[in-house]
Structure 1
Amino acid sequence: MASSKEWANFISSIASFMYFLLIIFQIPLFRVPCRFGMCKTPVEVTTSQLMASELFPTYVVKVLLYPGAVANAIIKRRTLPRYSKLLKLYNISALRKSTAVSDLQRLEILAGSYLSVVGAFIGLSRRARMSLFGTMLIIWSLVREIVLGQFHNMFPTKSIQMYPTLILAVVCAFLSIKKDVRKLIHSPRARRVKLS
């Protein structure tokens, strides 16, 4: 029989990998206005900001966007996108020429997206809480905007939405932390010992 440490390691590694797949294949988690229209994933929010700030070369943005574009093409049964036309596919090519000031209205969503993307990559090698913090920051910001939008407007905006897949991302991010999984495994055992 496997020990609790082995079970925790197995569960956290599977959850980390699932979280990585959710992020890198750009499964829609939310819908929020961003620089190139509507962003539905943390990768889209992150890459739109990276292109606008021009801190990273274009190939870094393309590397982040390409797996999601391939997954989207497979799901919709279209031809695979060409790497050279990737920025045009996401409407980012015109974004680089614009001189728009950084979008600070949704700073929590931007920070949460950065943490989610980086946490997905770091979570493959070692279990960290970065992905959980990023996902929770996105949820907090979206809930705050939805609630405040309803109070400020008689007709709340429908441009901001949360998808059910965001709950899956939170569960995967939480279960990717090995220490927390071990505590979950130990708590029922401790109750059984006390009862007997």
Structure 2
Amino acid sequence: MASSRRCATLICSIAFSIYFFIIIFQVPIFSVPCRIGICKTPIEVTASQLIASEVVPLSVVKILVYPGALAKAICNQKTIPSYKNLLNFQQLNTRAVSAASDIQRLEVLAGSYLSVAGAITGLIKPGRMGLFGILLLIWGVIRESIMGKSGFAQTKGIHIYPAMYIILISAFFSIRKDVRKLIRTFTRKRVVKAKRVKSKRK
């Protein structure tokens, strides 16, 4: 029992670390039109929407955006952006699209909020919020793509990147209860199989 608990804790910790890294450091997982043009991460969608709605101070948005901006600057071998020019570096001060375009992508917007919130609250206790957010994002992007092919929306710029599937698996395996159930089920099957082999030998 103790070993299965330790194993579940280890798996959850690794899975959440991968999930947290992809979300907070803004690894592209999808591509959809948004207020700033094309958004490729949940933080870009969340930040652009928070700036447009003016619900939270810009300082909060900058704190949310900074890790991704830092990672992008290092990967592209550019100078690290200053706190003052952070939003310009992330292109969050560019043109806005119509509100109707946001309404068409409610699943993407809600999924982005839940994904980011899941990464932040998961530092205290990982839960299902991140998983629900990723599932909403996948459904939202697929829905936009289907609607575009049907002539109801434009498919230009709408993609799902391979990292989306990595973060989906990570979000699932960061839920400790589900991981423990999987380990218990696997352990029981292995024990039953071992007993059957022993009985056949006798």
The question of a shared fold, defined as TM-score above 0.5 by the shorter chain, is answered with yes
How do residues 46-57 of structure 1 correspond to structure 2 at under 5 angstroms?
46-57=46-57
Q: Which residue matches 1:69?
A: 69
1:185 to 183, 186, 189: 183
Report if aligned partners of 2:118, 2:130 keep a CA contact under 8 Å in 1.
yes
Give 1:100 deviation, angstroms.
Answer: 5.1
Shift of 1:71: 0.1
Equivalent residues in 2 for 1:84-95 (5 A)?
84-94=84-94
* Cα distance between partner residues in 1 of 2:94 and 2:79: 24
What is the deviation of 1:183?
A: 1.4
- TM-score, normalised relative to structure 2: 0.89
Q: Secondary structure at the match of 1:194?
A: helix
Higher Rg of the two aligned structures: 2
Tell me the residue number matched to 1:157.
155
Counterpart-to-counterpart distance in 2, 1:59 and 1:138: 26
Over the matched positions of the two proteins, sequence identity in percent amounts to: 51
C-alpha distance in 2 between matches for 1:91 and 1:76? 15
Answer whether contact 1:36 1:90 (CA < 8 A) is retained.
no
SS of 1:49 mapped into structure 2? helix
Name structure 2 gaps, 5 residues minimum: 196-202
Which one is further off, 75-84 or 47-56? 75-84
Deviations 1:117-141 (A, max 9, x none): 0000111211210000000000011
Count of residue pairs brought into register by the alignment: 193
Which residue type is aligned with residue 6 of structure 1?
R
Who is 1:114 aligned against? 113
Structure 1 residue 101: deviation in Å? 3.5
Separation in structure 2 between the aligned mates of residue 182 and residue 149 of structure 1, nearest angstrom? 41
Q: Aligned partners of 1:130 and 1:15: how far apart in 2?
A: 14
Q: Which runs of 5 or more structure 1 residues have no equivalent in the other structure?
A: none
RMSD: 2.0
- What SS does structure 2 have at the residue aligned with 1:32? strand
